[in-house]
Structure 1
Amino acid sequence: MTGQRILFAVHDWGLGHATRDLVLIRGLLEANNEVVVLSTGRALRLLQEEIGDRCELVELRDIPKPLSRRPAAFYVKMSLALPLVFATFVRERRFARALVARKGIDRIVSDSRFGVALREVPSYYVFHSLRQIIPGRPYYLEKMVECAQKGLLSRARRILVPDEPENGLSGELAHDLSCDWGDRLRYIGALSSVSAQAGQTGVDYFISISGAEPQRTLFEERVLAQVADLPGRVVVALGKPDSETRKPDQDRVVIYNYLNRQDQQAMMNRARLVICRSGYTTLMELAQLHKPALFVPTPGQSEQEHLADYHCHRGHTYAVSQNDLDLPRDVAEAERYPGLPRIRPPEDSVRRFLDAISD
């Protein structure tokens, strides 16, 4: 596919959607397509830094994020926010329709922004959470939510799942589904914007702090209170893209407010063990590098908790809850695990993605 004008919408929940979409956006650009990127917040700032000179960027507010210090409060707030969420979808569709008319858009690709899809324009969702993991795993409630979500995604021609159809990284999020999704699902393969770099070593532990507030700050506080107890060379990235100021060295420990994608990739390559959230994009990156990891899922985010538990039970990686994190103890345990199984090269996924949106 070439010579098309594509509207690519990116969800702003952490930075994972933006980093995985970089692979696809660059693939579209290299195939001589024009890309208009729609996003907001930190995701938009990251995309501006990485591809702002090659794409037109448009800002549109995303769904509300009623996060909380306590998981139970998060679920209550998220349920109460549903009217605002659905109102956001309506606003997104109205905005997308006007943008399509004004910019002459030929196709829409939307990563988890449900409202940015139109029946009158070939539209495609990038989406991996086909099943929502509900605490306690009530089967009929999960099935009801999955089928409702299937309806929300009905405006798109296809749903492009960044995973393999079998033995994938996403576990029950995108496999062994309860509803009949028909032939609209297309598994395009995992997406990773990092690549292995031979010969780079010298870091024992790379700790990546991420996630929406207030949990990002709580994770940071817990890590910084314990990091000096780790042996060897430690690098911490605080996940604050508003500033690239480097904090002073503290003997063996170096702390950065933020690392761009190139520096983040270098640190992941150099580290013997990575300590991070268990977001799906992070999993895909670590699988690309076949790097051992210690996962600390964001409290209240059942998807991250499921992925951490799923791969821990399969003997790939070790995981611990944020409240129970004891860095010296947990990294010793995590080093006994081999890491996530390798995935196909991202070029394969980009090729399958381009094929999937060509008709």
Structure 2
Amino acid sequence: MKEKKLNIFISPLDWGLGHITRTIPVVQMLKDRGHHVILGGGRNASNIYKSEFPDIEFEPLPSSAIHYPERGSLIWALIRQMPRFFATIRKEKRKIAKIIRKHQIDVVISDNRYGLYSRDVYSIFITHQLMLKLPSAVKMLERWVYKRHQRMIMKFDACWVPDYARPPYLSGDLSHLYTPSSHVVYIGPLSRFSMGFCEDASAGKIYEVIAILSGPEPSRTRLESNILEQMEKTGKKCLLVRGLPSDTGDLKTPSNIESVNHLPACTLREKILQSKYIIARAGYSTIMDLVAMGRTAILIPTPGQTEQEYLAQYYNQRKLFLCISEKDLNLHEALNQITLYQWNLNMRSCQSLATEVERIEKLLGSK
């Protein structure tokens, strides 16, 4: 019996770049298996996907347009914007219904977009946060928030968690504090650098430091200014990847610093290999990329973003990454300290994603 090729719609959340970039290996695997993939999302998703998969059709989706505070807790800022968040979910539900009819979709894969599901198709939710870390002032509400978060995720047929089911865990409490429901599947880490579609690149060191920025404004710009100033003082060749895939303007930099707005996955991997030291935000997708390459780094959590602050503490305690707050960043001291850190976990290969895709192929192929 000939296998059914599925029409699969994939769309990530557009808060930062990590949700977008970690779907790249999922898209690549589904393409390699002969399925018809349609992509969706906001402006940044459109630009990143077009650079990686120029022939795949793209559907624009509503943006939640969350505004981040210049200071203070991100969680409190998000709470104030909950009405807008739920309005976006309602828009997503209307949009996905149209997309399903237009493309005869069989499977919807949503990375943290809570409105992208339908009873008419197999719906998958991707997240590394089964539980949400709250600020210390309201930490007693974490269990209550967890239960309500699970109700939202249970509307999907499956929840894919990009982490290992057994130690060593990459996400710590975020995916493993509570016993998961039966529809949770740990598919292993997702990295754009781990699927083998990048050609081997020269590993000769060209740059002293590569800084890979991402995340919300205004904290991205604030960190960029700080790093540029400190990179200039090194007097050595450095590379700044600004994390602006939708920006076409050039940034004026000191003579020892190269600057690019964005790099495709394979080019970025090559630049990382050519760099002696790495600076990045403490986002989970960034951590998965670094783990895939077996590289340590200087990680700077986005202020007020409790998930990143937790991950920074989690890895700093294990001496796997050097984690420094934005206000305490001293590049000269950090480069001296990072020599004491190394990625020393033997990360095993994981076929859980392929196994899960095969299960869905059999399930839907039998209908």
TM-score (ref. length: structure 2): 0.90
Q: Partner of 1:77 in structure 2?
A: 77
Gaps of 5+ in 1: none
1:176 and 2:180 equivalent? no
**Distance (whole Å) between structure 1 residues aligned to residue 318 and residue 137 of structure 2:** 19
**Distance (whole Å) between structure 2 residues aligned to residue 326 and residue 162 of structure 1:** 32
Structure 2 residue matching 1:71: 3-state secondary structure: coil
Show the 5 A alignment for 1:19-38: 19-38=21-40
**Distance (whole Å) between structure 2 residues aligned to residue 142 and residue 128 of structure 1:** 16
Please tell me the residue identity of whatever aligns with 1:46.
I
Show the 5 A alignment for 1:1-359: 3-53=5-55, 55-72=56-73, 74-136=74-136, 140-166=140-166, 167-177=168-178, 180-195=179-194, 197=200, 199-202=202-205, 203-230=207-234, 232-243=236-247, 250-339=254-343, 341-345=345-349, 348-358=351-361, 359=363
**Distance (whole Å) between structure 1 residues aligned to residue 272 and residue 229 of structure 2:** 22
Please tell me the residue identity of whatever aligns with 1:132.
L
The answer to whether the Cα contact below 8 Å between 1:189 and 1:344 also exists between their aligned partners in 2 is: no
Structure 1 residue matching 2:136: 3-state secondary structure: coil
**Distance (whole Å) between structure 1 residues aligned to residue 153 and residue 69 of structure 2:** 27
Go from structure 1 to structure 2 and tell me whether the alpha carbon gap of 1:17 and 1:349 turns closer, same or farther (over 3 Å shift): farther
Gaps of 5+ in 2: none
Please tell me the residue identity of whatever aligns with 1:64.
A
Comparing 247-256 and 160-169, the one that deviates more: 247-256
Structure 2 residue matching 1:357: 3-state secondary structure: helix
Please tell me the residue identity of whatever aligns with 2:355.
R
**Distance (whole Å) between structure 1 residues aligned to residue 346 and residue 277 of structure 2:** 16
Structure 2 residue matching 1:235: 3-state secondary structure: strand
The answer to whether the Cα contact below 8 Å between 2:9 and 2:107 also exists between their aligned partners in 1 is: yes
Q: Could you list the per-position Cα deviations for residues 135-157 of structure 1 after superposition, in whole angstroms to 9, with x for gaps in the alignment?
A: 11755411111110100111211
**1:289 Cα deviation from its structure 2 partner:** 0.8
The answer to whether the Cα contact below 8 Å between 1:27 and 1:350 also exists between their aligned partners in 2 is: no
Aligned length: 354
The answer to whether the Cα contact below 8 Å between 2:43 and 2:246 also exists between their aligned partners in 1 is: no
Go from structure 1 to structure 2 and tell me whether the alpha carbon gap of 1:88 and 1:243 turns closer, same or farther (over 3 Å shift): closer
**Distance (whole Å) between structure 2 residues aligned to residue 342 and residue 117 of structure 1:** 37
**1:345 Cα deviation from its structure 2 partner:** 4.5
Go from structure 1 to structure 2 and tell me whether the alpha carbon gap of 1:57 and 1:198 turns closer, same or farther (over 3 Å shift): closer
Structure 1 residue matching 2:124: 3-state secondary structure: strand
Q: Considering only aligned residues, what root-mean-square deviation do their CA atoms show, in Å?
A: 2.1
**1:57 Cα deviation from its structure 2 partner:** 0.4
**Distance (whole Å) between structure 2 residues aligned to residue 248 and residue 93 of structure 1:** 43
**Distance (whole Å) between structure 2 residues aligned to residue 281 and residue 151 of structure 1:** 24
TM-score (ref. length: structure 1): 0.92
